[in-house]
Chains A and B, each alone.
Chain A
Amino acid sequence: MKALPSIAFNDFSGTAGNVTARSTSGGTILSVRPFPSKVCSQSQRARRNSLATISRAYKQLTDTQMKGWAALAEKMKGTSLFGKSAELTAHNAFIRINSNRRMLGQPLLTDAPDCQHCIPAVTYSGILVTTRRVLVSGIESPSEAYRLAVKMSAGKSPGVSSAWNATVVITPGIADDWGDASLTTLYNDKIGFLPKEGEKVFVELCWIDTASGMTGEPERTVVVCSSEEQAEAEGFVERKQFTTGMIVNEEKKVLDMDIEIPGGTSQMVAEGTFDIHGYCSYFYERLAEDTDEMLEGSTMVFSRASSRPDFKPGMMSVTFSKIWESGRYHQQIAVSHRAGGYEQQCEIFGSNPLMAFNI
């Protein structure tokens, strides 16, 4: 049998496997040899692959196209993109613009875009950061081609005066929903947790032009996280909106849903696309997270088969009620075919009065 010296029990220096021993006057110190991790996250891998692909694509450009990118890079000197201001080469400009476009799901641009037009500053009425939500509201979108790009920091203690180097991209480009950009889920996904009450959050906002991949000058602001109660006391009113992401949807009957009760209108706006598989021409859904206030009311809207050339129209009721389950009330939403034609794959759309019996 071959005897191997053990660095753990012998007084000498050297490496065995992943363990290194060194002798000092005080004895022998053992340490695990450091290995650089070759494991990268899925998003890191995607980003690196994307940059490599874009970089390779640059080499396929014609001389004229490269000259176009060189001219653009010259114009972009001093122009900040997502807060970065640098001397750019044609290759840098190509990668920067196209990586922005990639993040938005847009194809690569081979011809340099025209950057003569300036991208306006972001106009919004407020940023609300509470222990439960992150919301930019009152956004005035200058064009349907623009998306809102947002960088934010994790919650910082009130004494921190600058954390601009600690902001991360929360979204590379989001379309506002009637002036709102709800960033709660995105913030949770990117940062991992919402800030605590009293913490500072550093926020950078800019428009990104989806056609060119160019971004505007970032707007910087610092928001202090408040409690929901404080936000309400200061006048925040929650939007009465029910979307696909808010329901349990275990059977995946709801492909897409956006139902809203605009304040003071007595109307329910209902838009949805469904696959009501099974034997029934109706379904019930529950909110994944119940709100304090349960909505009760109903309306009837038009429906239509999703298949073509069928176009079979019908009428469906949309009803909000509360149900008692597991010791407490839950918000329930029911959609039911009532008249006209019906197909399992169907959509509803329209706004009609929200009605209730107990008025």
Chain B
Amino acid sequence: MIRITATGNNFGAGDIIFTAFVDSNLLILNAEVTFDPSNPAYRAVSGLEIYVPDLPFERSAVSGMLMFGTLDGKKNGTAIKSRIKDRNTIAVEKVTAWDDNDTVTLVFSNSYVPRNIRGPVTRLKWNIADTTDIAGGTASNGQTYWTATDEWVFLGIALSRLEQADAGTQVSFRIRGLPEMEDFDGILMDNQAMSPSVGTAMLRFHIRDNVFTVEHIHPDRSWHYMQHCGFICYVPRKRVADE
């Protein structure tokens, strides 16, 4: 994993630094980019662009990532499209549904690949995520995927139910068999929206020493659970020397 420092952007977001895995036909980016949607640069553009030093390929297929708006401390968001537009530009779809929020955050934890590379199909090992060492409530698996290379771990995890034991306790769990990962902050999507009913609620989760901890679930409500929630992310593997 390397760091890529953006040379600029067209939506007034300030400095952007990605943690990246770069291969000749694969780019994985990790970063959260938060900005004020009332800023004039953002208001003036129809598509968001982040400018970076030379990328490994000219253009990519559409990649999927998350974005969310934060209003009164609550996060609501959706999935958006992104692509490598040219060797120096990462383009991100502009969705204006959260433009009246305090901030908008783009969540990069996604991969970019070109299309039309003729060659043998290669596959990675499909592992089922089995939650273990659950503390503070319930974390039940739904359909799950995880796989790993020497550099990164891919997690596509659907949880059928995530429930706090009480209002004040955060749920935490491990996933059996995962390799050691770097500490990581990710975003988990609920299956329902907070008011107003656009997108779905988004919650933050942390990975520390391979333990997943989810932020307080609906702290202002009388019930503290989510159903059919999940996350997709790429987490850097802990380097062998660091373990």
Which residues of A does B touch, CB under 8 Å? 177-180, 237-241, 260-267, 269, 271, 295, 297-304, 309-315, 317, 336, 338-342, 348-357, 359
Contacts and interface: CB of A to CB of B under 8 A. Distances in A.
B123 interface: yes
B74 to A, nearest CB: 16
B114 A178 contact: yes
Nearest to A262: B117
Interface string B142-162: 110101010000101011000
Q: List the 9 closest A-B pairs by CB distance, nearest first.
A: A263-B119, A350-B64, A339-B230, A300-B156, A355-B126, A339-B158, A302-B79, A178-B116, A302-B64
Most chain B CB neighbours (cut-off 10 Å) among A238, A263, A264, A297 = A264
29 contacts: A237-B118, A239-B118, A240-B121, A260-B61, A262-B117, A263-B122, A264-B120, A265-B25, A265-B26, A266-B122, A298-B145, A301-B232, A309-B198, A312-B193, A312-B199, A313-B199, A339-B229, A340-B189, A341-B191, A350-B65, A350-B79, A351-B110, A352-B154, A352-B232, A354-B123, A355-B123, A355-B147, A356-B125, A359-B126
A239 B95 contact: no
Contact of A263 (B81, B110, B117, B156): B117
Contacts of B170: none
B92 interface: no
Nearest to A304: B79
B221 interface: no
Nearest to B189: A340
Interface of B: 25-26, 60-66, 77-79, 81, 95, 97, 110-127, 142-143, 145, 147, 149, 154, 156, 158-159, 189-193, 197-200, 228-230, 232
Contacts of A356: 123-126
B156 A299 contact: yes
A54 B56 CA distance: 48
- The majority secondary structure among interface residues of chain A is strand
A269 B63 CA distance: 8
A351 B113 contact: yes
Contacts of B78: 304, 311-313
Given A178-B114, A262-B113, A338-B143, A350 B62 contact: yes
